[in-house]
Structure formats: structure tokens, C-alpha cells
Amino acid sequence: MQQGIYTKLKDRNCDIKDRLKLAKFAWFSDKVILPNKEQVLIDFLSGLLLNKKRSNVSENETCLVWRCLYEVLQSKKCHSPGKSKQTLIIKPSICQVLCNSILLECKKNSGCTADIVGCALAIIRSPTLSYVFTSKYDFLVRLLSNVLQLVVQTIKDDRVIPPDYIQLLQRCTSAYSVSQRAHPQQEKVFQSVVDCLLSPILLLENATEKYPELKDCAEILTNVLDQALFHKEHHPFYENFLSSVVGKDETKHKVSKTIESFFHSLSNLLSKQKGKDCNTDTDKMASRYLIVFFENFLSYKCHGDKPLTGFRLFVHICGLLGVKDDTPGLCKPPLSEQDVVAVVSSLLRSLLKHDIYSQPQDAAEDNVQLKFYSHVLVVVLQHRQSSSFFSCLESLLELNHVILEAKMTEVIQIAWLEESAEELTGKRLTFLENFVTKLFNTYSKLRQIPKLFNLLLTSLNGKVPHSLSPLLSERISIGLGEIVEGLPQTVAVEVWRLLLKAIEEYLPKLEHEGEKFLFVAEIFAVFLSNVKIADYTITHLTRSKVKEVMADTQLNVLAPLAEIVTSEKAVCSEPIVFSTLLLSYSWGELCLLLEEFVPESKRSGCHQQNVYKDLETVFTISSNTWKELHTIATSTNQKRDLYLWKLLTTLVLKAVLVYKGIEQSSEYVSEILLRLFSDVDKSFGEDECVSYGMLWEISAQNYNMASLDLGLSMVPLCGTLLAHKTTQQITDLVVHIMVHGKTKSRCDVHSQLLDKCQSPQVQESWSWLSCMMTSALQALPHVIRENQNTPRKKRRPNPISLEAVMNGLCDSVFTTADKSEQMKKLQHISNLVNEGMLSGEGKCLQEVETSSLVNCIQIIAVIQQSDHSPEEKLRGFLGGLALLSQGISSEGKTKEEMLDKIITLLIQIVEKVGQVPVFHLLDINSYICWLNSIIHGKKKTFSRGLCRKFELFLEMSCRVMVTDFQILPKLLNIITKELQDSQEVPCFLAPILKEISQLSNRSYLKGDVISLCQTAVSQVYLNLQPLYATDRKSAETLTVSHVHVMSAIVGILPKDQILQGNINCVYQFCLKVLDNPEEDVLVTSASLGFLESLCLCIDTKKDLLSSEQKIILWRTLKKLFYDFFINGNRQKKTVENSHLGREAVEKPLYFTDDHIVSPLQDREKEQSWHWMKKKMIFDGCLSGDGRKLVFKQIQSTIGALVFSLGTDQFQIVIETLLSDCSLRELVGDDFCRVLASLHLWNQVIQNELTEEKGSVVVRAVDEMMIIFQSAIIQLKDIKEEGIFHHLIVPLLTCQSDMLNFGPALMSSQCATMALQSCGYIPSCILSHYPAFLAVCGVLTSLIVHHTVTIFKVIPTFISCANRLMKSLITFGNQDTLIDKDSINDAKQCAHLLNKLYALMASHKPEFSKVAVYMVANYVTEIQKVTLHPVVKRALIPAVYAVLDICDTHAVSQLHVVLNQGVKEVFKMLYADYMKYHHYTGKV
């Protein structure tokens, strides 16, 4: 039967399908036994594919053969040796057919491509068959080429790439990468890569964005391409080729054919890109690769130490692009003109990056590079529409300004002056600004600014169209101004005369060249605004020259211009009118500035009380001329002309303010100032722009904002000369603009004006702020309208309505009258608030424009930030209070937003009220009852955040009332009476008692006040006793207010007045709350606050908790601390392949590093969580971040509890901590509990302890150190960074903290164990900043606090120090240290090591014997790497400190025993030490 199967397979007359079925049956069946069966069947299938004609195999049958071969190759038996231990042999011929068929069948679209790919994939990933592909380089490169072409063709057809294609490509890529590196003939590799792989690799790279699964393969193939093209063996071939082709070298070098064919291939690829359908990024792969090739050529140093070779490659690539030095333009470019300029731009940037161009070297070579760069400039100037045009100019300018200088006039014309403002938008404008700014900066560094100005003016007189106005943008103006400001005095005068001459030349031809004249005027204005000649450092000679040129400017420019513009026959265009005003203002501003340096008697003071006559005083141009100029400027209907006229009037205003001798100028100043605001449109449009740039960029869209900005900038200058009436008019206008309107532009205007009001200059003016407050309060009634649904009878004017209160607060008495009149008015308004607002009478519902109301409130809040008089604070408080009382009764969806803004404002006012008698005017009974009713009545209707803000406002109000001893007795009577009338606890009771509790702890408090408080609180407690009964039912009815009240009472009353049963009732309630602390943050916070108060009673010799209760509380708090610590770990990193199987824990986001301290150590820190709570409520984040508050309170409560514990109880606490830090916790699922226990232990020992408690800690330290030592030994072999950062580092830090207590806490044996712990840290972990810091901290603590112990173990100590030095040198490697944070970390490590070495050097007798080994360690390690300069500067002092304690014998020993390379490093180190550091006794 076996012989029959073999005969049947060989029978060509039998149908091929039957033969294939028989072959598959024989392969997979164990019953068919043939000698060497698998090999026979493989050879049979291979023979069918190799001899298709001879075997009569048709095309359709070929697909069946491939399918059968695929199924056979996919079976396990094909890849594992059989019983005879023989592996299958695949003939190279069949693999060659397979390789060719991959691409051939794809082109035929026969359908068997997937089977062929599957066969290839099965062979190449087989450990026994892959040698067929990988053993021969030629075969492997052909396979990779075909697979690449297959993938690229699939991409071109826009089809999904099958996974088998990608896997085959990955396998081929990896195999080829290994084969290429090992190939002995790199020239052959070069040729193969260029012929077979270059084009498909480039196509694949361009497809990675659309097919990200190809990214990894593309990166490997890019590296393959680089390794083949830039191998060091090819560097001489590149040089020879480029010298022959570009250098025109007479010496005939042998030109490599492979290099020549490579550039020929690039040229062909570029030619293919020329097609009209080259619109996609993939089609532009050739031009892109030219850029990459050139950059990599320079990066791999293929040019060696000959920059000329790099330049020649640049020339050759430019030649491929059509940029040839023998033709003025592009010669048959293979790309579009846009692409050519883009490629040249990138090539130039690479030249700059690698410093290929050297001017001295190029001069020695007959300026070859300079000439070609100049030719490149000629070509680039012909294509200014290219997006890379300005980039090319910048690069050429940075190479050498001489390149551009030869054609500078043409460059300036084409790149700047001929560019229209309409075309210069977006990126193109940015590119232009970058180029012009760099141009000015370059000539500034060269000290050739006059030359550049001359070139600019010459360019402007060239072929620039008369109708075209060149653009001088804000950024260019600012850059030019900075350069002008830094000009030397003589150069500034030279440039001034140059510009003056240019303007004089334009005067006769203004009619035709008005636009050009405007451009020169703009430049001249920038110059005059920034030139630094008004300074006391200016010499007398320069000042005399400035006087001359100032006079010439007025005589030869300003006066003639004014005559030309105002002459009857002249019909001047708007640019000429604007230029006249612009030059006049710039000159006048400088003129006034210069007058500061002359005596007052010689100043041209303005005192005519007429703008035109006063301008005549400044400019010596007649007042009639100025009047006509004003008329013409108004008639042009251009906003920029009107704005410039306003600027001219500010010159008059400044002159008036400077001239001190004028009297009665207040009205004149007010008149001028009001003119600046006179034409500002209150109704800002939707298209209003808040930024206006330069003066010539003023338009209708930004005129209003520019006028407001100008006017507000002049207000602080006027000072006391400004009348209150004028100030009020201005503030009314500003507030109206800020308040009204809902458009986006109006919001921007409001924001910018609000910033102006916050400026220090404005905040210093009390009059301005007072008027601003009045305007804001006046605007409030206009944004609050009477509800039309209210019955008509109720809409009558109400004497105690909100409008009446606001009208009273806006009375003129607050800006004109004295303090007494203002207080009388405030008292009257307070009566209205007491009677109408707080009593509940006279209310009427209102509809509110919420956005406008919010704007008003923001204005008042900004005003309240400054230091006001008491009257102003009272105005703001009464206005906000009246608004709040009315807002409570309003309706609408925006009600809560409005109330939130109002209550926020009131909180800010009350917080900064200081000694202002706010509650002397108000009826405090009505006030606190009103707030109490709001908090009680609105809990269900208001959001939780708003209710909390009301409670915060009540709390802060109570603080102000309690600290006012005149109000305190009345306040105590109110709460006593309130409790007698009602058994419920009012909302205001808890904050009042809390403030009294804090007040009673102050040392300056008088005895009668303390007695008064205790008497009132005793009465309150008697009334509340039934609420704190000991039965379970009473405990269940307790609320937050009950807990807060009892916390305050505990801190006020003596122990004998408080029933222990009441304490136990609240205590049990708090423990129950802590069982589930996340239900309500406020309840949990109140419970922790009460428990903390109980623990702190020991400070006042009142211990209200029994020993058993304290232990229970300790266990509860410890469990709570652990839960919060563990659950707060929001980001966990799984540590894989770890025998502990745990997760590395990061510090919780709410975790705080504050030490748990007792109240005796720091009273203010004990109360820090109170401030944190208020801040969270104010910011509205208590609900989201409440865990932060609770966790901080847990720590604070634990601190208070530890302080109150007795010695026996403290012993129990220490034992539980030791148990929680034990090894059995370490081998659990995670080590979070160990971290939490470690933190608690560290905080407990930081507390101020009694002598008995200290003894307990000392006894526990030995056991704790054994635990630490065991933990570090167990974890030393784990090198995951997360483990060490989150467990080992805290262990070391804790040891360092314990060592700092000295021998009193840790014995010599324990200190030695800490030193051993440092030795267990792996060197790879020490190279990280946290581990280095921890180990260095332990060593520093040892040498400082356990010096005697260290003297006994110096070798071990030095070993640890040397490991630190080695790790720091590894960490500070210049090649790996890149980002700033890492550099700073390494620098800090060096400083720490320097401190440690300095401490060792201070003990010279003990450490001098081993110092030689420390120096040897340094020089040995430093030879291996290059230290970052910053790290080296910080580390060298440490080495010098060790050298200080080395004697001459040690130095001689180092010169002898060190290796040769290391010895040279030491010689340089020692020479620098002797030269710069070693003390010689000479001064």
C-alpha cells in the first residue's frame, strides 16, 4: 500500500486534485508509513511548483498546490524533528519560487497570495526551517523587498492590511537587520538597499500615520536604511564622489559606482514626483527624504572633519532640485517651485545646525560657499509666494549677513515693502515678523543700525508701488523700539538725522507718495518714542546735538507739514493728516520729557486754559493752525486721527501737571480729561475689539477701548486736581460699560476694565475708589427690576425697599462730606436695613439681570481689596447685605448663581473688616436671627454648597461680634434668651461658642470678660443638658450643631461643671460616626473636632476621657487612618514578576506631610484644619475634596490623643505600631498597612514626649530597627523602582529621623544596623534621586549624631559613601541627563554628597587613612563617563574636601598605583586642586 501511494503521487496522468488529497492524507495520517515520509511529501509539493509545465499544473491548480503546501507547513510535525531526529530540508529553489510568487500572484490577483504569504511566514518563523531564508543575504533582501512591495501595493489599493502580511514583514525586517549588521561587504549591502529597499521603505514611512500598526516596522527599516547608507566604510566614497562631481578636483579619485547609483536613484524618484497628480504626502516622499538624508549625513559625521564635504553635498542636492550655479533661476526642476524652496529651507537649517559654514575657512577657499549661498538667495527671491520663503531668508541671514547685504534693497522690497496688508495674515505675517525682527537684531549686534536704516530707506525709494503702504506691525515695532533704546548716543543722533533727511525729501512729493511717507513717519515715531536721550547719563555734547536735531525736526518737518495740511489749496489724503498728527505727538512727548532736565523757570508751561494755545506753547505752531488741524482730523472720519488728537491733548494735560506754578487748574484738567471720554460709545458692539496694537492700527473696532484705556491711564496722574464731580462722571461711564451687555466682546471689555481697576496706580486713589463704589451701587437698582406679576398696590415706592437703601449708599455725602456726616448717613441706612431687610417687612419680589448683577458684584469685590476707610467698608457691607436680603425672595433659574456671588462678596468683606464697627450700626439680634432663619428654612431649596457658604458667612460674622467686647455682652444675652424661648439649637450658637472658646485661650483677655463668658456659657449648658442624655435614643438624635456646641463648651467650662454622662453621650455618637466616615463630611469633621477637644483638655488639667476610652479611640483612629491612607491611593502600578505579588503604592493625593504635633508645640498648626475647612467651603470644593479635610483632622486628633495618653496607654500604642510594622504584614497582599504604620510611628516619635514616654520609645527602637533591617534584607533583591520609592525609601527616611535624636534614642548597635541597611540598596536604585537622598540622609545623620560609632566602622561607612559617589557619576552622565528636572536632581545630590564629604573631612585623624581610596574611586568612575558641567561644578568641592586630608604619601601612592588612563585624570584633578583650591598660606 505504501508503494502504491508513492506511485500514485508520481503518476502525472492522475488528476492533480486527487494527488493533493492523497498527499495531505499521507501527511496527517499516522497509518501511512513511508521511508522519510515528510521529506518525500515536501519534495513532491515543491516539485509541482518548480516544474509546473512538466507536471501539467495549470494556474488554477497552482493555487491548490500552494494551499496544500500552506496546510502542511502550518502543522507542528513540519517544525519539530521526527522519531529519527532528522529535520526537514526545504530546497532553496522552492523558496526562490515562493519569494517571486509573493509579488507575481498579487499582480495577477489570483487569490493565492494569502497562502503564499502564509507559507513564507511559516518557514521564516520556524526554528528549523528559517535558515533557508536567513542563511543567504541576497535571498533575504529579495524576500524583504517583495514583502515590502506587497504591503505598499495593498496600501495603494486602499485595502486593509492582513495580519499575516504585517507579521511576515516584522519577521523579515528583524532577520534582515541582524543579517545586515553581520555582513562583511557593506558596499554590497549599500547597493542592495538602494536597488531593492529604498523606494518601498520610503513609501512605507509615509503610510505610518494612516496605518499605525506599521510604525514599529518603519522605525526598524529606517534604521536599516541609515546603517546601510551611512556606514563608516562609505564615508571616503562620499567624499571622493562629491569632490569629483561638485568640487571639480583635478586629482582623479576613484568614484564609487554604488554612491553614483544611489544619487541616480534619488534623481529618478524626484522625476516621478514631478507628475501632475503629486498632491498627497505619500507622493512627496522623495523630496522629504532628501531632507532626512542630508540631516542624517551630517549627524553621522559622514563629512568627518571636512565641513566642505557637507557643503558639496548641499550643492549636489540643490543641483538635483534644479538650483545650479551656472543658471540664474531654476533649471528644469524635478519638483514644483514651492517644493524646491521648502527643501532648500530645510537643508539650510541643517547646515546651520551642524556648523558647516565657517566664514574664515571659506575665505581661505576663495569664498566658494558664500558665492553659492548668494546664488541660492537669487533663486529664492524669485519665489516669494512659497511658504518657506521667509525661512530661507532667515537661514541665509544667520549663515552670514553678507549673503543678503549684496542684494539687501531687493530683499527688503520683495520680502517686506511689496507685501500688501491683505496678504499678510496668519502664519505669513508671523514669518515676516520673525524675519524682520531677526534682521534688525543681526545688524544691532553688528553695530550697523545706521547702515540698515539707509538700506531700508533706499529700498523704499525703489520700485515699491506708490499706492502700497508697507506694514509695520506691533511686534516689529516693539522689536525695533528695543533696539533703538539700546543705541549708543552718537549712533542714535546719526539715525535721527538720517530719518529726518528722508522725511524732508518726501515733503515736495507728498501728493503722489503719501503711503510711503506714512511708513517712514511710523518708523520715525517708533524711533522718537524709544530713543534714550532724556537721561541724566547723556553727555552735554550729545544734549546739545539733540537740541539741534529737535529744533530741526520742528522747523523742517512739523511746521512745513502743518502748513501743507492746513493750506487752502491742498487736498491732503488721510495718511498725510495722520502722519502729521503722529509725528507731532511723538515729538511733543519727547519735548516734554526733555524739559524735565531744564530749570522750572525755563519750561514751557501751559497756562492759557485753551488747548490750541497751549499746543502753541509746546510746539510754537500757531493756535489757528492747530485748530484747523483739529477740524481736518475730525473731517477724515478715521478713528485713528481722532485718537491721535486725544493724545495731543494729553500732552497739554501733562504740561499742566508738570508746571507747578499754576493755580486754579483743576477745572481745566477736568475739562481735558472729560474730552478723552466724550465720544466713547457706551453700547459696545459685537465686533468690538479689546486690543488695539500700535497707533496706526486704531480703527472703529477698537477705538472705544483705546479711548477708555487712554483716559484711565491719565486718571492717576491728575491726583487731587481732579474734581469729585469729574471722577464720578468717569466712573459712571466705566461702570455702565462694564455692567450692561451680554455679548462676548462685552465680557472681554469687562474683564480688561476690571484689570485696569485692580492696577496699583488706580487703587492708590481714594477718590476714584469711592466714586467707583458709588457708581457700582447706583447700577444695582437698574439691573434689578420690579416683578410685573406683583399686584399694583405692592409696587408703590417703599421707603425701606432695596432701591431706597441703594440710593442712600450712593449719596454724594460719601464723596464730598466729612467723616461724621458719612457716619450719620450710614446709621440711617443701617436703620433701613434693620427695619426692612432683616425684619422681613417691606419685601417685594424682584427680577434680576444676573450677568449684570454679577458684574456689579465683581466691581465691588475689587474695590474692597484695597485699604479703605471704615466708611467705605461699611458701604460695601450694607449694600451687599441689602442685596442678599432681597435676593433671597427673588425667583428664577439663576437665583442660586446670583446668591452665590453675593454671599461670596460678603464673606470677603467680613474677612477683612478688621476693627470697623460693622455690627454697631446693625441690630445684631435681627441679623443673626435672619441668618438663622435662612439657613434653617432654605436647606431643602438651596444647594448644599450654597448652604455651607451661608453657614461660613454666619461663622465669620460671629467671629467679628465676639472679638468686639462692646457687643459681646449683648450677644451673650441674645443666645441665653433664645435658648430659654426655644429648646432647639440655633445655627448661630455653635460658631459663637467656638469663637468664645478660642477667645478664652488668649493670654491678654481680662478676668471680667472670662467670667462673663463662663457665666453665659454655663447658662447655655444648663438649657442644653436634656439634649445630651445618656440614653441611646438621645445619642441618635444628635446633630452637627450639638457636637460643635459640646466641643466649644468643653474648652470653656471647668470640668466640675460638665456632666460626664453628657460627654459619654457625644463620645459614643462620634465613634459611631467614625465607623462610616464617608457618609457626611461635615458630621465626620465635627466628630473629629469634638474628640480632639476632649484630648486637649489635659492641657487645662481636665481629663474627660478614661483610659479605656482612650485606647478604644486610638484603635478607631488608627483603623480610620489606615483606611484613608490605603483607599486614597488612586494610582497603583502593578509590580510584575515579583515574588511578593504586591502593588507599588503611590502617596495618596490628599496625603499631607505635616507632622502630628501636640498643642503645646504649635498652637497655630493645631488649628490648620479649621482654615482648610473654611477655604474648601469658600471655594465650593468640600463635597469633592472632603477626604483631604477628614484625613488632616485624623492626623491632628491622633496627635492630641498621643499627647494626652498616660505611660501605660502609650506603651499599648507603641506595641500596636510595632505589630503593624512586622514582617507578617510585609508578606501580605500589599504593604499599605506597613507604610501607614511607618508614617504613624514617625509622627509619634516627633511629638514632645514626657520622660516616661521617652523611655517607652527607646525600648521599642531596638525592636523597630530589627524589623527595618529584616524588611530591607527581604526586599534587597527586588529592583523595581516602585518598590524602593514607596517602601524602602520611607524605611530609610524613618531611620534617618530616628538617628537625628542621637544616642539618647538609638544605641550604637542600632546605628550600625542603619548603616548596614544602606549597604543593601542596589547601585541601580541609588542612581534615582529619592533613594540617593534617603541613603545620604542616613549617612549624614550617622556622622553628625553618632560620630563615635562611625569611627568604629569606618570601612563600611566609606564603602557606602563610595557607592553613593559611583551612583551619582552614573546619574550625572551628560549623555543621559537631558531634562532640567533631572539636572536639578543630580545637582542637589552633588550638594548633599559635598556636605557628607565635608563632614568626613572635619575628622581628619580618623578619615585621612582611607581618603586615598575615596579619591581613587572618584577618578576611576569619572574616566568612564562625561559628567554634566552643572553636576561636575557641584561635585568637585566634595573631592577637594577629601584631598585636603590626603597627605603627600597618599598623593604619591595614587600617582603610582592608578592605571595609566586613570592616572592622567588624577593628574589633571590634582593640578586644578593645587592651583585653585589648596591653601598655601599666601593672601
What pLDDT was estimated at residue 439?
94
Q: Angle formed by the axes of helices 137-156 and 198-206, to 10°?
A: 40
What lies within 8 Å, CB to CB, of 1376 at 6+ separation is none
* CA 475 vs CA 481, 526, 579, 693: distances in Å: 10, 12, 20, 9
What digits encode the pLDDT tens for the residues 14-31? 777 777 787 777 778 777
Rounded Cα distance, 236 and 238, in Å: 5
Task: Say which range, 534-543, 574-583, 701-710, 730-739, has the weakest mean pLDDT.
Answer: 534-543
What pLDDT was estimated at residue 797?
44
The SS3 of residue 1037 is coil
- 334 band by pLDDT with thresholds 50, 70 and 90: confident
Mean of pLDDT values over 300-311: 86
What pLDDT was estimated at residue 743?
59
Task: Say which range, 215-219, 244-248, 641-645, 1368-1372, has the weakest mean pLDDT.
Answer: 244-248
* Length in residues, the chain: 1483
Q: Angle formed by the axes of helices 574-594 and 514-530, to 10°?
A: 20
Strand 1143-1145 and strand 846-848: pairing? Answer: unpaired
What pLDDT was estimated at residue 1142?
31
What pLDDT was estimated at residue 1390?
92
Rounded Cα distance, 830 and 923, in Å: 9
What pLDDT was estimated at residue 665?
67
Nearest C-alpha neighbor of 117 from the set 160, 80, 66, 178: 66
Q: In this structure, is the dihedral angle defined by the CA atoms of residues 660, 666, 670 and 672, taken in order, positive or negative?
A: negative
Strand 1132-1134 and strand 846-848: pairing? Answer: unpaired
Rounded Cα distance, 552 and 563, in Å: 16
Q: In this structure, is the dihedral angle defined by the CA atoms of residues 1304, 1310, 1311 and 1314, taken in order, positive or negative?
A: negative
Q: State the amino acid at position 1264 in one-letter form.
A: M
Residue 445 has pLDDT above 80, yes or no: yes
What digits encode the pLDDT tens for the residues 909-929? 888 877 777 788 888 888 888
What pLDDT was estimated at residue 1140?
32
State the residue for C-alpha cell 585636603.
1444
* CA 1085 vs CA 136, 654, 1127, 1186, 1194: distances in Å: 77, 60, 18, 9, 9
**Torsions phi, psi for 848 (to 5 deg):** -125, 135
For the beta carbon of residue 175, count every other beta carbon within 10 angstroms.
Answer: 18
What pLDDT was estimated at residue 483?
92
Residue 1477 has pLDDT above 80, yes or no: no
Rounded Cα distance, 831 and 839, in Å: 11
C-alpha cell of residue 646: 486725544
What digits encode the pLDDT tens for the residues 222-272? 899 998 998 888 888 888 888 888 866 555 556 778 888 888 888 888 877
What digits encode the pLDDT tens for the residues 963-996? 888 888 888 888 888 777 766 788 888 888 888 8
What pLDDT was estimated at residue 1147?
37
Mean of pLDDT values over 1239-1251: 78
Residue 450 has pLDDT above 90, yes or no: yes
What pLDDT was estimated at residue 1208?
87
What lies within 8 Å, CB to CB, of 766 at 6+ separation is 869
Rounded Cα distance, 946 and 965, in Å: 31
* CA 842 vs CA 258, 848, 919, 938, 1414: distances in Å: 100, 18, 22, 20, 88
Mean of pLDDT values over 800-816: 78
- 944 band by pLDDT with thresholds 50, 70 and 90: confident
Residue 1104 has pLDDT above 50, yes or no: yes
What pLDDT was estimated at residue 997?
84
Rounded Cα distance, 1296 and 1292, in Å: 6
What digits encode the pLDDT tens for the residues 312-332? 999 999 988 888 877 777 777
C-alpha cell of residue 283: 507622493
Mean of pLDDT values over 1136-1159: 35
* CA 1076 vs CA 32, 1038, 1079, 1083, 1378: distances in Å: 74, 16, 6, 11, 49
Residue 85 has pLDDT above 70, yes or no: no
Q: State the amino acid at position 940 in one-letter form.
A: K
What digits encode the pLDDT tens for the residues 826-867? 888 888 888 776 665 444 445 566 777 778 888 888 877 776
What pLDDT was estimated at residue 1160?
36
Residue 790 has pLDDT above 80, yes or no: no
What lies within 8 Å, CB to CB, of 66 at 6+ separation is 49, 101, 112, 115, 116, 119
* CA 70 vs CA 8, 454, 545, 879, 919: distances in Å: 21, 80, 96, 89, 95
**Torsions phi, psi for 278 (to 5 deg):** -85, 80
- 510 band by pLDDT with thresholds 50, 70 and 90: confident
Residue 959 has pLDDT above 90, yes or no: no
Nearest C-alpha neighbor of 916 from the set 957, 885, 883, 951: 957
What pLDDT was estimated at residue 1280?
60
Q: What is the mean pLDDT of the chain?
A: 80
Rounded Cα distance, 551 and 629, in Å: 21
% of residues, the chain, pLDDT over 70: 85
- 1100 band by pLDDT with thresholds 50, 70 and 90: low
* CA 1045 vs CA 285, 577, 1028, 1086, 1190: distances in Å: 78, 77, 11, 10, 19
What digits encode the pLDDT tens for the residues 30-74? 777 777 777 777 777 777 777 777 776 777 777 888 888 888 888
Rounded Cα distance, 1080 and 273, in Å: 70
What digits encode the pLDDT tens for the residues 727-750? 888 888 888 888 876 656 667 777
Burial readout 1089-1114 (b: 16 or more C-beta within 10 A, e: otherwise): bbbbbbbbbbeeebebbeeebbbebb
Residue 1273 has pLDDT above 70, yes or no: yes
Residue 161 has pLDDT above 80, yes or no: yes
What digits encode the pLDDT tens for the residues 612-651? 887 887 787 888 888 888 888 888 888 899 999 999 988 8
What pLDDT was estimated at residue 1161?
38
